[in-house]
Amino acid sequence: MSLVDGAAELLLVANDPKYSETGGGHGAKGVDFPRWWAVVRMMELETANEPDFLLLFESVQDVAELNSATTPTRARVYQVKKKDAGTWTWSVLTGTSAPKAPSPTQSKSTRAATASAKAPTFEKVPESALGKLHLSLTAFSSLPVEGVFLSNAGCDFPLASGGSAATTMPCSLVDLAADHVRLLTDAFASLSPGAPPPDLARVKLQKVAIHSDDLAAPAIAAALQLLNERSPEHAGQAKAFVDSLVMQISPLTRRTDACVSFEELVKERGFSRNAFLAALAALETVPDRLALLDLWLKQLQTEGVDFMTVTSVRIAAAGAQRDRLIGGTKLSKEIDIFCDEWIATNPWTSNLRPFVEAALAALKVKFSGHRDHDLMARFVMRAITKCVDQN
């Protein structure tokens, strides 16, 4: 396979609507789930120092991962599905009825007669999740491709080694119990009569720790880890970094028109490593709020605020920054809103201390249950943020 063949074949498959998963499911969360997972995946790929990568959205299944944005030589196709509770069952994912274990009291002839009388039917396989994933893989004849069914819930499938795929993931379909492998082989073979036998080793089951009610948390944690390694002075912007990535990805999941070239496909539905690095580099242009905090606290100390108060505010500001990383609480957001409104209606003074103390007095009336240095820290951080945003 030439490098050109890989891109051309990918374009051909992506332009065939039967291989894409459009529209999502389970409401807004079902649509958002692949986006948030994609951000986590980008962090994983970058942390692994992959020389290049490209994620294509709603092109081949939910997400297609390529090893190059220009000359792909291998691909991984993902179905990314959210489930609010429980595990995925065999019938839902395969469109067939799960094999039933024979009773130990049955004779061999009885077992054979029972199996013959209840021959499996495969009418629902083409529309099943794993059936669609298998069909997407068979659409490629040149580009090496593997498929992954990925979810926040496990798959209740028995394994050949004992136990269940629900608790032993990732695994491939060939790792399942022998009777399930036989049934799935026959089911997939029914989708492409006369084709080579299905390769169940190419399809994997994977579970990710992303809670359906808090999709952002794992992405923020992954971003925080990456920023601590690459740009620790901007680690406090992990949430903003992740939010910006999701905003850039979102339009890519809504474009379904056929593309005339691989380059157009990448432009319309792809997010590359270069785009990821550009977003990462953009953080370097944003002032470090904690560095600005240090300047403000030094100024306050110069204007007569005692050392212990400055120290307490510094510690409280670090806590407020950690709170901001995980999205904040209802109360912390109320304080931020109050600070923003107060700043908008009160002119800055030439000295910081009178400005900060006036804000503190107003905050103490509204939020009397908080300590002075906590309120002061939150106000100073909001004031710094407003100052940065104006620049």
What is the tens place of the pLDDT at every residue in 230-251?
A: 888 778 788 889 999 999 999 9
What is the tens place of the pLDDT at every residue in 128-164?
A: 999 999 999 999 999 999 999 999 999 999 999 998 9
Q: How confident is the model at residue 391 (pLDDT cuts 50, 70, 90)?
A: very low
Helices (runs of H) and strands (runs of E) counted in the chain: 15, 7
Q: Is 41 exposed, middle or buried (0-12, 13-18, 19+ CB in 10 A)?
A: buried
CB 56 within 8 A of CB 66: yes
Closest CA to 128 of 168, 77, 184, 174: 184
Higher pLDDT among residues 54 and 111, named by residue: 54
Q: What is the structure's pLDDT at 31?
A: 77
Higher pLDDT among residues 266 and 254, named by residue: 266
pLDDT at 102 over 60: no
Average pLDDT, the chain: 87
* Strands laid side by side in the 171-172 sheet: 171-172, 203-207, 145-151, 75-81, 63-66, 54-57, 270-272
CA separation, residue 145 to residues 134, 136, 361 (Å): 11, 9, 63
Q: What is the DSSP letter of 139?
A: T
Three-state DSSP at 172 gives: strand
Parallel, antiparallel or unpaired: strands 171-172 and 75-81: unpaired
First to last CA, the chain: 52
Torsion angle in degrees (nearest 10) through CA of 26, 32, 36, 38: 90
Q: Dihedral of CA 321/323/326/332: which sign?
A: negative
CA separation, residue 262 to residues 9, 251, 257, 279 (Å): 9, 18, 13, 23
Parallel, antiparallel or unpaired: strands 203-207 and 270-272: unpaired
What is the tens place of the pLDDT at every residue in 284-335?
A: 766 667 778 888 999 999 999 999 999 999 999 888 877 765 567 888 889 9
Residue identified by tokens 């002032």 is 287
Distance of CA 219 to the CA centre of its chain: 6
C-alpha span between 41 and 243 (Å, rounded): 15
Q: What is the structure's pLDDT at 105?
A: 55
Q: What is the structure's pLDDT at 386?
A: 77
- Residues 6 or more apart in contact with residue 357 via CB below 8 angstroms: none
Higher pLDDT among residues 270 and 101, named by residue: 270
Domain ranges of the chain: 3-282, 289-390
Higher pLDDT among residues 21 and 90, named by residue: 90
What is the tens place of the pLDDT at every residue in 116-125?
A: 546 788 999 9
Q: What is the structure's pLDDT at 348?
A: 82
Mean pLDDT of 372-376: 93
Q: What is the structure's pLDDT at 4?
A: 54
Convert 218-248 to b/e letters by CB count within 10 Å (16 or more is b): bbbbbbbebbeeebeebbbbbbbbbbebbeb
C-alpha span between 255 and 17 (Å, rounded): 12
Q: What is the structure's pLDDT at 294?
A: 87
C-alpha span between 293 and 319 (Å, rounded): 13
Residue identified by tokens 């959210």 is 82
Q: What is the structure's pLDDT at 70?
A: 94
